[in-house]
Amino acid sequence: MGLVEGKNAIVTGGSLGIGTAISLDLAEEGANVALTYRSHPEEAKEVARRIEEMGHKAMAYQIDVSDFAAAQEMVDKVVEEFGGVDILVCNAGMNWDGVIWKMTEEQWDRVLGVNLKGYFNFARAVTPIFREQQSGKIVNITSINGLRGKFGQTNYSASKAGIIGLTKAMARELGKYSVNVNAVGPGLILTEMLRKNPAREKVEEMALGEIVLGRLGQPEEVAWVVSFLCSEKARHVTGEVITVDGGQYI
């Protein structure tokens, strides 16, 4: 049996990169998976197809995660289609970089809306269910840049730091209902987004100067930790931030 056999999971931002790896690993560990996407429909449908090939239910749902009502609507549909929800992995995120003295209000609002409010929206939708059933797992994807800050990313770093505070507060509120809430903080991970980055060589060089293991992380290495936290093997772990960064933060 897999780590999450028979469970129903929601993964936001599941069509690319780390989100795809999380969606597929949860399915490999036995879960039905509903994933969200915003602008990559073909990729999302392919992930759903691969999950169904494993013998599990899958749903690819287009949504702007910053829309409060839309998040609730999706959770309702997952409950209707899957028969319930047991796991929430909030991963959908974006960056729109700029130094603070040049950052626009739109840049700030959009990044905080997706990266932080989006997490609140889905947590708000699933937690009444988790309270009632006295069980549930929530894993929030943050970043080492929410722990330390990064030049040119005040909005992104603030949103990722906010996710850490959100995680710890929710862990306190939901613990008595046997709901575990944790965060995973990746360092630089080798995704398609990085591969297509015109400054990839410089970005990698800087990161490798910090990573004590001497290599970039792979998306599945983040996914493995997420699946563990979604399982009963992590039932006494809550309110934690686990970095998956090869020692980049230390």
Task: State how far the Cα of 191 lies from the Cα of 200, in Å rounded to an integer.
Answer: 11
Q: For every one of its 250 residues, what pLDDT tens digit does the chain have, with 9 covering 90 and above?
A: 899 999 999 999 999 999 999 999 999 999 999 999 999 999 999 999 999 999 999 999 999 999 999 999 999 999 999 999 999 999 999 989 899 999 999 999 999 999 999 999 999 999 999 999 999 999 999 999 999 988 989 999 999 999 999 999 999 999 999 999 999 999 999 988 788 888 889 989 999 999 999 999 999 999 999 999 999 999 999 999 999 999 999 9
Asked whether residue 237 is assigned to any structural domain, the reply reads: yes
Measure the CA dihedral 168/194/3/237, to 10°.
-20
- The pTM for the full model equals 0.96
**Residues with a known catalytic role:** 156
> In a 10 Å sphere around its CB, with 0-12 CB exposed, 13-18 middle and 19+ buried, how is residue 69 labelled?
exposed
Residue 249 falls within a domain, yes or no?
A: no
**How far apart, in Å, are the Cα atoms of 187 and each of 79, 81, 141?**
33, 35, 11
Residue 156 lies in a domain: yes
Number of domains in the chain: 1
Please check whether residue 85 lies inside any domain of the structure: yes
Give the CATH number of the domain where residue 67 resides: 3.40.50.720
Q: Which domain holds residue 126?
A: 8-244
pLDDT given at position 198: 84
Q: Does residue 1 lie within any of the structural domains?
A: no
Please give the pLDDT value at position 195: 86
C-beta separation of 88 from 122 below 8 A: yes
Asked if residue 139 is part of any domain, the answer here is: yes
- Assess if residue 250 is contained within a domain: no
Determine the Cα–Cα distance for residues 12 and 166; give it in Å rounded to an integer.
17
Tell me, yes or no, whether 28 lies in a domain: yes
pLDDT score at 203 = 87
- The tokens describing 75, both together, are 């959770």
Is 188 buried (19+), middle (13-18) or exposed (0-12) by CB count in 10 A? Answer: buried
